[in-house]
Structure 1
Amino acid sequence: MDFKNSDTIPGPRSEDRLPQTAQAAVKIVIVGGFGVGKTTMVGSVSEIRPLTTEETMTQAGIGVDDNFGSDTKTATTVAMDFGRISITEKLVLYLFGTPGQERFWFLWNGLFEGALGAVVLIDTRRLEVSFDVIGRLEERGVPFVVAVNSFPDAPRYAIDELRQALDLAPEIPIVECDARRRASSRDTLMTLMRFLHSLAMTGALT
């Protein structure tokens, strides 16, 4: 076998390499129901080319996957999304987006391993799909914040109404987010990091 041209195999782009100043990395999961914007959020905020495992939706999913509000959605995550963002020169977040369909939730156990915290993306048109998601995080003891993704035709509710509807503890942050916009997604992640810091200061984060 001729290896003379092996040096032409493309390597990682310079912007994909981990910054030399990075001293700490934190695993964060982005969770939520089907079609709430998890892949969009990871893609909008990642400083590297995001890894996605999207597959074309087929007739086999009819009656199995709830695509309410996502009628134009043609692909869906079947394993995970992955991205990375540097919060500071020393701190890097590794982002793992989970699949939204219940039939793929068995993959969540592995994705939650080692995660320091989570962002729960919700769609106010389908609040009920968030109940099981939040329940799973609470069962595993994974700290989380709730981000209300801004869909044009979604109803708007006061924060107190959302907190009551989702049965959330008073200390859990709820923020508005436009998953399509990098700045908005980054602000949501910063909210999570501040929440995790406050838990660490009080000894609630183990």
Structure 2
Amino acid sequence: MAYNGDSDPRGDPVPTAVKLLVAGGFGAGKTTFVASVSEIEPLTTEETITTASIGTDDLTGVGDKQTTTVALDFGRITLDAQYILYLFGTPGQDRFWFMWNELSEGAFGAVVLADTRRLEDCFPSLDFFERRGTPFIVAVNEFDGGHRYGPEEVRAALDLDPGVPIVLCDARDTRSATSALVTLTKHLISVAPTTV
């Protein structure tokens, strides 16, 4: 999703839009991450978890989670007059994964949030992006009371290639979440094909 070379009716150049995804398992902190970095009030599709989800959504290890994303989260960051980042948070539960193909269309890369309380929940995200060839980083969202693991311990547990960056973050903290996006941006630059 990159637009450049055009101009608006006043002759001003249209900024380049860079689409990034924020993915991960159910309750990993995707909505919180998008909200903490977005310069606009984020669009969310949060719905209350009801008794109808019993037997469908596994709430083990996600504390007192009361809501869930049923379609997407959306936020925006204007870097400068030339570049705007559009962030799309994916839904975490299996029953909403049909949204992922649409959301990932045109995405440059992704942040996969890993929750060490339920680390196995990020495997579907990793598999999805690996199959599509979408560059990604893993951001370990360090929840209060959760066990702390070093990046290389997480790499071994997730069987990640050495070239996939892993960062520790707190999705609630703007600077921490922004730092994860900076890491993703650097990674995207490092893996971009060079033109001669």
Regarding TM over 0.5, the answer is: yes
Runs of 4+ aligned residues of structure 1 deviating over 6 Å after TM superposition are none
One-letter code aligned to 2:110: A
Q: How far apart, in 2, do the equivalents of 1:101 and 1:171 lie?
A: 28
Decide which structure has the larger Cα Rg and report it: 1
Q: Does 1:41 align with 2:33?
A: yes
Q: Which residue of structure 1 aligns with residue 153 of structure 2?
A: 161
- Provide closer, same or farther for how the CA distance between residues 22 and 151 of structure 1 changes in structure 2, counting only shifts above 3 A: farther
Structure 2 counterpart of 1:47, which letter? E
Aligned length: 184
| Superposition deviation, residue 71 in structure 1 | 3.3
Q: Which structure has the highest strand share of the two? A: 2
Give me the whole-angstrom Cα distance separating, in 1, the residues matched to 2:112 and 2:149.
17
Aligned to 1:91: 83
Deviates more, 1:141-150 or 1:63-72: 63-72
Shift of 1:21: 7.5
* Equivalent pair of 2:21/2:89 in contact (CA under 8 Å): yes
Relative to the length of structure 2, the TM-score reads: 0.89
Query: Are the equivalent residues in 2 in contact too, given 1:55–1:77 (CA < 8 A)?
Result: yes
- The answer for the alignment partner of 1:146 in structure 2 is 138
Identity %: 58
Structure 1 stretches lacking a partner, 5+ long: 1-19
CA contact (8 A) 2:17 2:86 kept: yes
SS of corresponding position for 2:58: coil
For 1:34 and 1:70, locate their aligned partners in 2 and report how far apart those are by CA, in whole Å. 8
2:13 and 2:51 map into 1 onto residues whose CA distance is 48
Aligned residue number for residue 8 of structure 1: none
In the superposition, relative to structure 1, how do residues 41 and 22 fare at CA in structure 2: closer, same or farther (>3 Å)? farther
Partners in 2 of 1:87 and 1:186 — Cα distance? 12
- CA gap of 1:21–1:188, structure 2 versus 1, over 3 A, is farther
2:192 corresponds, among 156, 177, 200, to 200
How far is 1:202 from its partner? 5.2
Distance across 2 between alignment mates of 1:22 and 1:40: 29
Q: Which amino acid aligns with 1:69?
A: G
Structure 1 residue 24: Cα displacement: 1.2
Higher mean displacement: 142-151 or 69-78: 69-78
Q: Give the partner amino acid of 1:167.
A: D
Structure-2 separation of matches of 1:174 and 1:70: 22
Match of 2:171 in 1: 179
Q: Work out which of the residue numbers 55, 60, 81 in structure 2 matches 1:68.
A: 60
| Partner in structure 2 of residue 132 of structure 1 | 124
State the one-letter code of the partner of 1:29. L
